Structure 1
Amino acid sequence: MLAILMIIVGYLAGSIPSGVWYSKYIHNIDVRTLGSGNSGGTNIGRNFGPIAAIVVIIVDILKGYLPVLMAQQLLGSDSDLAIMLTAIAAVLGHAYPLFSQFRGGKIVATSVGVLLAFNFYIALAMVALFITILLLTSIVSIAAMTSFLLVAIWIILREPLVYSWGFAFMAVLMVYRHRENIQRLLKGEESRVTFGLNPRKK
């Protein structure tokens, strides 16, 4: 029963639409009507500035980190499946939030939060990969997908099966959530940041 409760808590925590609430209460507009239509930190940053992006990203990371940490503390190390399902529930909540018409983000920050709870060093490696790839490409979507896919492959090759399938699922979901970005990438129309080796012209 406690395991089921933690899975529900994970989904509800993930469902907190930080980007939508921030944009509505601070700027009186739904960020999903602006830019890419996404509620995550990247679109928040493009429309409301870097400080707003940092605030939303931190909250989104905590949405993945805190439920998994709580599940680890309450369920113990013998409940790997329930803990992994709590992590997946948090990520699904971010992608399909109950509190925001099931229109959520692309799960990058929340997935980093999940990684932080499972293994700080792997999460740090993903962030380092993300920054490196972003500097090389100047494209956030490529950096996000590639860095998480590489980390997921590492986990699949080295960690127990329950973590392998869990992070494999999250990797597939992340790619799916970026499907419009992938279409723009194939057309050469994906947005670029204003720094790195191939920046957008200001």
Structure 2
Amino acid sequence: MNFPIFALFSFVSGSIPFGYWIALRFAGVDIRKLGSKNIGATNVGRLIGWKFGFVVLALDITKGMLPVYLSSVYVPEGGIPFQLLCGVCAVLGHMFSPFLGFRGGKGVATTFGVFLVLTPIACLGAILVFWMVYKFFKFVSLGSIFASITLPLVYAFSTILLLHEEVSYWVLGTMVFISFGIILTHRENIIRILNRSELFAVKGEEQDGDSERNRR
């Protein structure tokens, strides 16, 4: 399989809108018109149940893992740069799905899947950052933003201090690029956080007297 075909495969596989399809199939609702109007796991879990939300989360992570792993197996001559390209294609597919008129999700879970294959330690660090921010502020969106910002930093420090290896500037540059994209997809969330109108992840959670839930 040549490079362009595999890159296209990565984009198409990343563009599969599991959240939209699962909500439509099992609840008969268009997830794009409810809650935060996002097709990601948080909105699915909030609206139709967390068992569905976790399924969507797992599938969206797999969308990032699969192209990176398969590219290393079937196009080994491409090396790390091509694996990263396939990962970027998968994330862009999720953000701009042709199945949804080139609109899509935030790309957080798919990005996690990409780097879970390539830099698992950095991903664990990003998860820790996400969890701490979420536990304190109760906003999944804010946790996702902080995790994406810190992912390149965690990768650099863990590679140097824990693994005693050289930092791959291919990996670091790709992390920065995708993190910037994730921040852009959260721009409306940032505005809502500043306006104190962001939705909480779990119904009934309250913070500082707000009764809104988290919007991802």
Give the TM-score normalised by structure 2: 0.86
For 1:28, the equivalent position in structure 2 comes to 28
Report the Cα distance in structure 2 between the residues aligned to 1:135 and 1:83, rounded to whole angstroms: 33
1:46-92 deviation digits (Å, cap 9, x = unpaired) = 11111110010100000000111111222227622211110100000
For 2:170, the equivalent position in structure 1 comes to 162
Structure 1 consecutive aligned stretches of length 4 or more whose deviation exceeds 6 Å: none
Q: Is the CA contact 1:135–1:197 (under 8 Å) kept in the aligned structure 2? A: no
Report the Cα distance in structure 1 between the residues aligned to 2:143 and 2:207, rounded to whole angstroms: 13
Report the Cα distance in structure 1 between the residues aligned to 2:206 and 2:168, rounded to whole angstroms: 38
Further displaced range: 152-161 or 102-111: 152-161
Where do residues 8-157 of structure 1 align in structure 2 (5 Å cutoff)? 8-76=8-76, 79-155=79-155
Residue 89 and residue 81 in structure 1: after superposition, are their counterparts in 2 closer, same or farther (change >3 A)?
A: same
Report the Cα distance in structure 2 between the residues aligned to 1:198 and 1:69, rounded to whole angstroms: 41
Aligned amino acid, residue 198 of structure 2: E
Residue 119 and residue 74 in structure 1: after superposition, are their counterparts in 2 closer, same or farther (change >3 A)?
A: same
Deviation at 1:189, TM superposition (A): 1.5
Aligned amino acid, residue 61 of structure 1: I
Report the Cα distance in structure 2 between the residues aligned to 1:92 and 1:18, rounded to whole angstroms: 15
**Which of 182, 185, 196 does residue 193 from structure 2 map onto?**
185
Aligned amino acid, residue 150 of structure 1: T
CA RMSD in angstroms, aligned pairs only: 2.1
Which runs of 5 or more structure 1 residues have no equivalent in the other structure? none
Give the TM-score normalised by structure 1: 0.91
Q: Is the CA contact 1:155–1:167 (under 8 Å) kept in the aligned structure 2? A: no
- Identical-residue share of aligned pairs (%): 29
Residue 78 and residue 7 in structure 1: after superposition, are their counterparts in 2 closer, same or farther (change >3 A)?
A: closer
Residue 3 and residue 62 in structure 1: after superposition, are their counterparts in 2 closer, same or farther (change >3 A)?
A: same
Q: Is the CA contact 2:20–2:32 (under 8 Å) kept in the aligned structure 1? A: yes
Which runs of 5 or more structure 2 residues have no equivalent in the other structure? 160-166
Report the Cα distance in structure 1 between the residues aligned to 2:112 and 2:40, rounded to whole angstroms: 13
Report the Cα distance in structure 1 between the residues aligned to 2:127 and 2:169, rounded to whole angstroms: 24
